[in-house]
Chains A and B, each alone.
Chain A
Amino acid sequence: MKQQDLDGFREYATTRRGYLRRTAYLLCGDWHLADDLVQDALAKLYVRWRRVRAKGTVDSYVRKMLVNGYLATHRRSWRREVSTPQPPELAAPSSTDDGTRELLVRALAGLPPSQRTIIVLRYWNDLSIEQTAATLGCSVGNVKSQAARGLHHLRAALDAAMFEGVQP
């Protein structure tokens, strides 16, 4: 890679790494895996940097690599989540957290990967329905229906949590 290209790549990676990492965390819910996903996506970008930058599609390319990487981890059997009798270690709620955070973590974790991806792309990355469909390589109608189902699941999880909260 030429020095000029290398400088461009380094600048992009430096400025966007944090944002990509937060997106990856919202997708997978694990900071370690999020780091891995971001490194993978940026390494792929490194290989095709000149071509992707020339097309002006750097953000969408790296986002696609990130999403593909996340969805691939769910397809690999050795990386599938394993049910345990005790809930995994959770971060202690901060003093300002009234419980919303933990509820949201659980609600997101309960979503199927595709719905979770769409929720994150639509409501965290602020992508349009068309951009989300392009990232996932699916139809606009599919994104709409999956987003609606995802929100429905989140609300259902909320109702269930509240129901548990009012039990005597």
Chain B
Amino acid sequence: MSHHPAGTPEPARLRAAFEPARLRAALATLVADEPALPSTVDDVERRGRRLARRRLTGLAAVFLIAGAGVTVGVVGLTGPGTDSGTPTAAGVPGEPAAEAPGGNPAAGGPAGAADGPAGVSDGPAGVPGGPAGVPGGPAGTGLAVGFPVGSAVDAVLTALPAAVTLGDLPMDIHWREGGRLDLPVTGGAGEATLALEVTDGGCAATLEPAGLLSAAELETVAGAVCDAWRAAGSPAIVPGGPVGEEQPEYANR
């Protein structure tokens, strides 16, 4: 006959506790000393809002990449860029110093400098002269060049004062002509649109209507965006956005 010392559970009772039918009661003993909840439903909501915003930003970035790829491709097909006030996409024909990232280094020379009136060659995909910014030539796709909207949004988020935060970002968020990006901001005093402008000459931030942010705070935001832009290597600002109302018809491909 086995004996069990004081303080150890009685074997038969233990075996019973591990039977499926009584396991629930045994598991209940583990959570009997549940401590008080450290967070509230408000915390959960805040976390949910942050997650939703992150997903929207990610989605917007995908749209931007797709839109920028198409836009840059169109620019490459139709002729040289003429907007000298705003940085344009690397590799746009007419910018001798720029080189498309997908260009063939072995071929030498900047992308877009090849023969052909609009910088498009008749050669195979990937040769210099393919649509600027779209590595791999007319048939290929690739990451868009340019300063990502997400980087600008992150920079703004870090620079905003505690009382002011970004509102819900629109689905079609994108850089506009002139290196402009509009972001909704909210705070105790209401809502406003923060207009960022990133050009070669520097960065600026304005608020419409004014009031949510002071001039010094706007300067801080503009400085943060400029820092992020420079940290990214002062890339081009590629105006873009959804190409049309509807998604492309992938099923027909």
Contacts and interface: CB of A to CB of B under 8 A. Distances in A.
Contact of B20 (A44, A99, A107, A123): A123
Interface in B13-28: 13-15, 17-18, 20, 23-24, 26-27
Nearest to B42: A10
Given A100-B17, A155-B15, A46 B45 contact: yes
A155 B18 contact: yes
Nearest to A151: B20
* Chain A interface, >50% SS class: helix
Contacts of B27: 26, 104, 120, 123-124
B54 to A, nearest CB: 10
A13 interface: yes
B48 A46 contact: yes
A108 B43 CA distance: 30
A166 interface: yes
Contact of A94 (B4, B14, B33, B38): B33
Q: For chain B, which range describes its interface: under 10, 10 to 19, 20 to 34, or 35 or more residues?
A: 35 or more
Interface string A156-167: 001001100110
Contacts of B29: 97, 100-101, 104
Nearest to B51: A43
Contact of A47 (B9, B39, B41, B55): B55
Contact of B48 (A45, A91, A154): A45
B34 A21 contact: yes
Given A98-B7, A98-B13, A123-B20, 19 more contacts: A9-B48, A10-B45, A17-B41, A17-B44, A26-B27, A42-B47, A46-B49, A98-B8, A98-B9, A99-B8, A100-B17, A108-B30, A119-B23, A151-B20, A154-B18, A158-B14, A165-B4, A165-B5, A166-B4
13 contacts: A18-B37, A22-B31, A25-B34, A39-B39, A40-B47, A44-B51, A46-B51, A47-B52, A98-B9, A100-B29, A104-B29, A104-B30, A155-B15
Q: What are the 5 closest A-B residue pairs judged by CB atoms, nearest first?
A: A46-B48, A43-B47, A165-B8, A123-B23, A43-B48
